[in-house]
Structure 1
Amino acid sequence: MSNHALAERHRLAELLLAAGPEAPTLCAGWTTRDLAAHLVIRERRADAAPGIRVGALAGWTKRVQDGYAERPYEELVGLFRAGPPVLSLFALPGADEVANTVEYFVHAEDVARAGEEWTAQPVPAGRAEALWRRLPMIARFEAGRRSPVRLVLARPDGQSLTVGPAGSATVRVTGEPGELVLFAFGRGARTALTVDGAADAVEALRHALPLPAQ
Structure 2
Amino acid sequence: MPRYADVERQSLADLLLSLGPDASTVIEEWTTRDLAAHLVIRERRPDAAAGILLRPLRAHSERVRTGLAARPYPALVELVRHRPRWSPLSLPALDELASLTEFFVHHEDVRRAQPGWQPRELAEGHHGALWRRIPALARMSLRRFPADLLIQAPGHGETSTGAGGEQLRLVGSPAELTMFLFGRQRVARVQLAGPTELADRLRTRRLGV
- TM-score, scaled to structure 2: 0.91
State the distance in 2 between where 1:38 and 1:64 align: 9
Q: Deviations over 1:94-134 (max 9, x none)?
A: 22111101100010000000135321112221111111111
Paired residue for 2:178?
181
- Number of aligned residues: 207
Please identify, of 126-135 and 151-160, the stretch whose mean Cα deviation from structure 2 is larger: 151-160
Q: Deviations over 1:141-197 (max 9, x none)?
A: 02444x33221111123721111111x211111110011111101112112211111
State the distance in 2 between where 1:38 and 1:106 align: 13
Paired residue for 1:68?
68
One-letter code of the match for 1:73?
A: Y
After superposing on structure 2, the runs of 4+ consecutive aligned residues of structure 1 that deviate more than 3 Å are: none
One-letter code of the match for 2:159?
A: L
Is the CA contact (8 Å cut-off) linking 2:131 and 2:156 kept in structure 1?
no
Paired residue for 2:158?
160
RMSD of aligned alpha carbons: 1.8
Q: Secondary structure at the match of 1:121?
A: coil
Is the CA contact (8 Å cut-off) linking 1:21 and 1:32 kept in structure 2?
yes
Verify: 1:150 aligned to 2:151, yes or no. Answer: no
Paired residue for 2:111?
112
Please identify, of 13-22 and 153-162, the stretch whose mean Cα deviation from structure 2 is larger: 153-162
One-letter code of the match for 1:109?
A: E
Query: Given the superposition, is the C-alpha separation of residues 2 and 68 from structure 1 closer, same or farther in structure 2, using an over 3 Å criterion?
Result: same
Q: Secondary structure at the match of 1:48?
A: helix
Identity %: 43
Q: Secondary structure at the match of 1:118?
A: coil
State the distance in 2 between where 1:202 and 1:56 align: 33
- CA deviation after TM superposition for structure 1 residue 200, in Å: 3.2
Which runs of no fewer than 5 residues in structure 2 stay unpaired?
none
Which runs of no fewer than 5 residues in structure 1 stay unpaired?
none
Query: Given the superposition, is the C-alpha separation of residues 182 and 144 from structure 1 closer, same or farther in structure 2, using an over 3 Å criterion?
Result: farther
- TM-score, scaled to structure 1: 0.89
Paired residue for 2:90?
91
